[in-house]
């Protein structure tokens, strides 16, 4: 096997993507904007053997800033996926050769250990990495829940018939009330989207990690024609708005929000209804809505599941690259939280040393 660590400016990154079906999350431009947000280094591991290819983008982060300055620690790194569902890209031959994938995972672990990485957390792509849990060890591959998508290969009538009856009723009611959905130029309308998005995050009491700043959206716009902004209007007033990405026949719902005054009407139902038929008309194969918070079957998941009966297993890879360093960091975090080491290790949070609560 030939293994290479490649950076964003390496021409091999785009050359590799040209050979593999990929999504927005694998593009160097997307990794760049996420590296800025995480204050991390964006890289990718490329492992190849004949016509078998394994490609995995990630963010390399320092760990020393997690702890109080009084708690000294040596230079240690960890690895995390960018926001969304990146996962692993495999060529057809690689995907059908379990021995190659097993060997590639081992090579990945060795390469990360050589870089001083103690742990790695990867979100897998529910569509492109479907079935990975059938041939990866449950010790490293975790089932985190389900996501929902619309099969755009179905006819419009079939897509509509798969819509939950209460959603159909709401969509028709929204149309009768005069609400309309349309795509608008990203640059011209992103300011209002940000206002609506922050208003929504405030209403939900979301964590700070969900408050993307203006610089993030400025970088996001550089993805060009792969990014789309949808709005729903009532008498020229925007009631809700959403960002959607388009890549490789896959439409992804990225971020969205609804004005407080229109929350009860749920205009986002009309937005998702519009986007799925718009996406189908453009020749895409699947519209991925995502899942609930943390992959759970919560109210958000229930809302999304009202648009389609098609679901996917959401998987994550959790690798402890260096047991000794990992344990040391958990001990430091436990000390900073005045908690027991086993309390942190028993939580579902990974890596445990980035957990901010012991229960």
Q: Would you list the DSSP string of 306-345? A: TT-SEEEEEEEEEEES-HHHHHHHHHHHHHHHT--HHHHH
Mean pLDDT of 343-351: 91
Mean pLDDT of 72-89: 89
pLDDT beyond 60 at 359 = no
What superfamily in CATH does domain 148-314 come from?
Gcn5-related N-acetyltransferase (GNAT) (3.40.630.30)
Shortest CA distance to 16 belongs to which of 38, 47, 58, 62?
47
Residue 169's φ and ψ, nearest 5 degrees, are -60, -45
Q: For residue 305, count CB atoms less than 10 angstroms from its CB and return exposed for 0-12, middle for 13-18, buried for 19 or more.
A: buried
Please give the Cα distance from 26 to 14 (Å, whole number). 10
Angle at 149 between CA 92 and CA 155, to 5 degrees: 95
Which part of the chain has CATH 3.40.630.30?
A: 2-144+315-354, 148-314
Mean pLDDT of 128-151: 92
Q: For residue 79, count CB atoms less than 10 angstroms from its CB and return exposed for 0-12, middle for 13-18, buried for 19 or more.
A: buried
Highest mean pLDDT among 72-81, 222-231, 332-341: 222-231
Mean pLDDT of 180-187: 96
Lowest mean pLDDT among 111-120, 163-172, 274-283, 287-296: 287-296
Question: What number of other Cβ atoms are within 10 A of residue 273's Cβ?
Answer: 24
Mean pLDDT of 102-131: 96
* 309: Cα separation from own chain's centroid: 21
pLDDT beyond 60 at 69 = no
Residue 97's φ and ψ, nearest 5 degrees, are -125, 95
Please give the Cα distance from 90 to 319 (Å, whole number). 19
Percentage with pLDDT > 90 across the chain: 83
What is the CATH class of 2-144+315-354? Answer: alpha beta
Q: What share of the chain is helix, strand, coil (3-state, %, to 5)?
A: 45, 30, 30
**Close Cβ partners of 101 (under 8 Å, ≥ 6 residues apart):** 54, 90, 94, 95, 135, 136
The whole-chain average pLDDT of the chain stands at: 93
Placement of tokens 């050359």 in the chain: 15
**So what's the pLDDT on residue 65?**
77
Q: pLDDT confidence of 351, banded at 50, 70, 90?
A: very high
Please give the Cα distance from 287 to 289 (Å, whole number). 6
Instruction: Report yes or no: 240 and 170 within 8 Å, Cβ to Cβ.
Output: no
pLDDT beyond 90 at 347 = no
Please give the Cα distance from 308 to 209 (Å, whole number). 29
Give tens-digit pLDDT for 275-320: 999 999 999 999 999 998 877 789 999 999 999 999 999 999 999 9
Q: pLDDT confidence of 356, banded at 50, 70, 90?
A: confident
**So what's the pLDDT on residue 293?**
83
Please give the Cα distance from 321 to 120 (Å, whole number). 7
Helix (H) or strand (E) holding 144: strand 141-151
Give tens-digit pLDDT for 195-210: 999 999 999 888 888 8
Distance (Å) of CA 15 to CA 20, 90, 147, 243? 9, 14, 30, 27
Q: Which two tokens stand for residue 208?
A: 């700070």
Q: For residue 39, count CB atoms less than 10 angstroms from its CB and return exposed for 0-12, middle for 13-18, buried for 19 or more.
A: exposed
Question: pTM here?
Answer: 0.93
Q: pLDDT confidence of 72, banded at 50, 70, 90?
A: low
Instruction: Report yes or no: 110 and 76 within 8 Å, Cβ to Cβ.
Output: no
Give tens-digit pLDDT for 224-277: 999 999 999 999 999 999 999 999 999 999 999 999 999 999 999 999 999 999
């Amino acid at each position: 096997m030939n293994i290479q660590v490649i950076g964003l400016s390496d021409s091999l990154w785009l050359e590799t993507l040209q050979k593999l079906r990929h999504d927005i999350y694998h593009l160097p431009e997307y990794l760049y904007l996420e590296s800025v947000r995480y204050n991390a280094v964006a890289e990718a591991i490329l492992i190849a053997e004949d016509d078998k290819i394994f490609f995995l983008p990630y963010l390399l982060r320092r760990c020393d800033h997690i702890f109080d300055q009084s708690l000294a620690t040596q230079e240690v790194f960890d690895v995390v996926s960018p926001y969304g569902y990146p996962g692993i890209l495999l060529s057809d031959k690689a995907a059908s050769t379990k021995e190659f994938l097993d060997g590639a995972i081992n090579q990945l672990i060795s390469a990360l250990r050589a870089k001083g990485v103690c742990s790695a957390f990867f979100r897998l792509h529910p569509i492109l990495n479907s079935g990975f849990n059938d041939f990866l060890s449950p010790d490293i591959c975790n089932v985190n829940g389900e996501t929902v998508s619309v099969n755009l290969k179905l006819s419009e009538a079939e897509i509509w018939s798969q819509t939950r009856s209460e959603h159909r009723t709401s969509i028709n009611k929204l149309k009768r009330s005069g609400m309309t959905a349309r795509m608008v130029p990203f640059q011209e309308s992103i300011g209002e989207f940000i206002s609506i998005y922050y208003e929504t995050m405030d209403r939900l009491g979301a964590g700070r990690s969900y408050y993307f700043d203006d610089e993030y959206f400025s970088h996001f716009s550089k993805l060009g024609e792969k990014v789309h902004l949808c709005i729903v209007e009532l008498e020229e007033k925007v009631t809700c708005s959403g960002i959607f990405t388009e890549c490789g026949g896959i439409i992804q719902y990225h971020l969205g929000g609804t004005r407080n005054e229109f929350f009860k009407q749920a205009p986002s139902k009309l937005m998702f209804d519009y986007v799925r038929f718009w996406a189908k008309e453009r020749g895409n194969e699947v519209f991925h809505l995502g899942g609930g918070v943390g992959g759970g079957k919560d109210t958000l998941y229930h809302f999304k599941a009202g648009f389609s009966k098609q679901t996917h297993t959401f998987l994550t890879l959790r690798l402890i690259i260096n047991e000794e360093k990992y344990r040391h960091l958990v001990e430091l975090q436990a000390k900073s939280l005045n908690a027991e080491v086993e309390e942190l290790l028993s939580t579902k949070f990974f890596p445990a040393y980035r957990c901010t609560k012991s229960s």
